Amino acid sequence: MILESNRIILRPVKIEDADLIVKWRSDPEISKWIFSQPPIKEEHIKWFYSPKPNRLDYIIYLKDSIPIGTVNYKNIGSGYPEAGILIGDRSQWGTGVAKEAYTLWLKYGFEQLNLEWIYALIKIINIRSVKFHNKVGFMHIETDPKSNLLVMYIGRDMIV
């Protein structure tokens, strides 16, 4: 399924996207905020083909066909679905496209996947991501000092 808004197109990730995703996730300004090590292309391709029954991964495109990042859902069907976003094209940071893409993705989760709540796990020190999630409508649930993670959630009627 392809999703569209004013400036954004979201489509399922394809194997052809591997090089770009690996490039984005290997950027030191991005990799310091993600929970896994920057991937190696061969490992990413192996991961891509592995079964992921409770996960969705989409790529974010500007309407002029420029890929800028990814969105995902993990743990679908678990009662604790988790959403994530990565804007890999640094020239798009601060332009508002991340909020537009994430809002589109969250609405898809609520309206098409029938999720009641969506969670986000964020490194405590990632203040930019915390502010971004607050701007979209997420609320803080708890802070886990052992793992240095902040747990946030949003309900279907909370999107700003």
Tens digit of each residue's pLDDT, the chain (160 residues): 999 999 999 999 998 888 888 888 877 776 666 755 655 667 767 777 777 889 999 999 999 889 999 999 999 988 899 999 999 988 998 999 999 999 999 999 999 999 999 999 998 888 999 999 999 999 999 998 888 888 999 998 887 6
Beta-carbon contacts of 5 under 8 Å, excluding residues fewer than 6 positions away, are 100, 101, 103, 104
Domain ranges of the chain: 3-115
CATH of 3-115 among 3.40.630.30, 3.20.20.60, 3.90.1170.50, 3.40.1160.10: 3.40.630.30
Against a cut of 0.95, is the pTM above it? Answer: no
**Which residue blocks in 5-120 are alpha helix, DSSP H?**
18-26, 28-31, 41-49, 97-111
Pick from 56, 57, 65: nearest CA to 8:
65
Residue 122 pairs in a beta bridge with 150
DSSP 3-state percent helix, strand, coil across the chain (nearest 5): 35, 30, 35
